[in-house]
Amino acid sequence: MPKINILSEDVRNKIAAGEVIERPASVVKELVENAIDAKATAITVIVENGGKDLIQVIDNGLGMEPDDAMLALESHATSKIRNVDDIVHISSLGFRGEALPSIASVSHFTMVTRSADLDVATRIEINDGKLRDVQKTSSNPGTTIWVRGLFKSLPARRKFLRSETVELRHIMKYFHYQAIIYPNVSFKLIADTRQKLNYIASEDRNLRMSEIFGAGFFQDDLIQVSGQNGDYRVDGYIFGLEERQDKLIDAQYVFINGRFINDKTVKHSIKSAYEPHISKTRVWMKGTTPPYILFVHVPATQIDVNVSPHQKMKCVSERTTWCIH
Ligand SMILES: Nc1ncnc2c1ncn2[C@@H]1O[C@H](COP(=O)(O)OP(=O)(O)OP(=O)(O)O)[C@@H](O)[C@H]1O
Ligand SMILES: [Mg+2]
């Protein structure tokens, strides 16, 4: 992992920031994104009580050396960007240097991390933003983070968390997005000692798709698409002529440069492309959209991920503006 730096005031002022932690799924999102940015090939998430009591994320990524491990918990500390110019071509998922300190300020937070270059790991414990303990310890290379009692010291925010089932559903939804985008990473989710999901790493995306959606994924109506125009590329899967009864029915996913996006303009364009075909079939009712899973790749300079986490993120190209999550 490149060394961590505290961003200068100048860079900080150009970053659109905001509260990123709203519920257990946001913690899972931030920690899993960190693991992916750290080039982990295996990520395990363990949760208890829908993540309200415990969220543990174990990765086998690059880990951190002791001084970086301490710095990582400071606000505006990141290894992913350095200066203002970096903001316009962000290729990592994170870049604000805010997630870890935000999580540690609203939970009992423990991190054990080890870079493969060193024999020793660092263990840091923080309770509601206060540093409690720093120790040397032993562990495999990579990083494990435990987040216990999210918002316990902030009853007004804890109160807004939903039932275990609902919170777990949010976590699983997010987990699926990551599993779809990164088939080369193994993902395991354990909830209250029960294994919920276990996806094996594979270079073959088709394999991951059938792991997630079941063998029914490759029905006759699946069309694998792929197209390129200069530096812009789209590939993925479209479906349509058969009515689906399986879990794919609600799968209308678009990912841009490795991020899930939910944007009206993009959805509308896809729907318009489908429309003439849909009307010819008896099965799909007008107004509904068959499933699709599309991966769009655009040059990093053409996408603006630097908007407030509360807004939908903007993707700006010369002619289009998309909103992304
Ligand atoms: N699992 C991990 N493995 C290795 N390094 C990590 C891991 N998690 C965090 N780090 C390091 O700690 C830094 C701070 O992480 P944090 O998530 O707070 O910020 P970020 O990922 O840089 O930006 P953002 O706030 O947008 O997520 C990262 O830039 C990275 O260098
Ligand atoms: Mg991060």
Question: How far does the centroid of ligand 1 lie from the alpha carbon of residue 35, in Å?
Answer: 8
pLDDT (0 to 100) of residue 121: 98
**Beta-carbon count within 10 A of 171 CB:** 26
Query: Tens digit of pLDDT for each residue in 162-190?
Result: 999 999 999 999 999 999 999 999 999 99
pLDDT of residue 181: 95
Residue ranges lining ligand 1, Cβ < 6 Å: 1, 4, 30, 34-35, 38, 59, 61-64, 72, 77-80, 94-100, 143
CATH number of the 218-324 domain: 3.30.230.10
Per residue of the chain (325 residues), what is the pLDDT tens digit?
789 999 999 999 888 876 779 999 999 999 999 999 999 999 999 999 999 999 999 999 999 999 999 999 999 999 999 998 898 888 899 999 999 999 999 999 999 999 999 999 999 999 999 999 999 999 999 999 999 999 999 999 999 999 999 999 999 999 999 999 999 999 999 999 999 999 999 999 999 998 998 887 887 778 899 999 999 999 999 876 556 555 566 678 999 998 888 888 888 888 888 777 665 554 555 556 778 899 999 998 888 888 755 444 444 443 343 333 3
**What residue's CA is closest to ligand 1, atom 8?**
34
Mapping DSSP to helix (H, G, I), strand (E, B) and coil, where does residue 125 land?
strand
Which residue, among 219, 216, 169, 175, has the nearest Cα to 197 in the 3D structure?
175
Question: Alpha-carbon distance 21 to 259, whole Å?
Answer: 18
Do residues 5 and 78 make contact, with C-beta atoms less than 8 angstroms apart? yes
Amino acid 69: pLDDT: 98
5-199 carries CATH number 3.40.50.2300: no
What's the pLDDT score for residue 101? 96
34 Cα to the center of ligand 1, angstroms: 5
Question: What does the pLDDT read at residue 266?
Answer: 84
Amino acid in position 80: K
CA pair distance 63, 121, nearest whole angstrom? 9
Å from CA of 256 to ligand 1 middle: 21
Ligand 1 centroid to Cα of residue 97, in Å, is: 6
DSSP letter at 257 equals T
Atom of ligand 1 nearest to the CA of 62: 4
CB 45 within 8 A of CB 188: yes
Which residue's alpha carbon is at the smallest distance from atom 5 of ligand 1? 63
The pTM of this model reads 0.91
Sort 310 into a burial class: Cβ within 10 Å, 0-12 / 13-18 / 19+.
exposed
| pLDDT (0 to 100) of residue 243 | 60
The ligand minimizing its distance to the Cα of 90 is 1
Q: Give the integer Cα–Cα distance in Å for 292 and 222.
A: 9
Nearest CA, atom 28, ligand 1: 78
- Alpha-carbon distances of 175 from 87, 200, 255, 266, 300, rounded to whole Å: 26, 14, 14, 22, 24
Q: What are phi and psi of 10, to 5 degrees?
A: -60, -45
Domain ranges of the chain: 5-199, 218-324
Total number of residues shown for the chain: 325
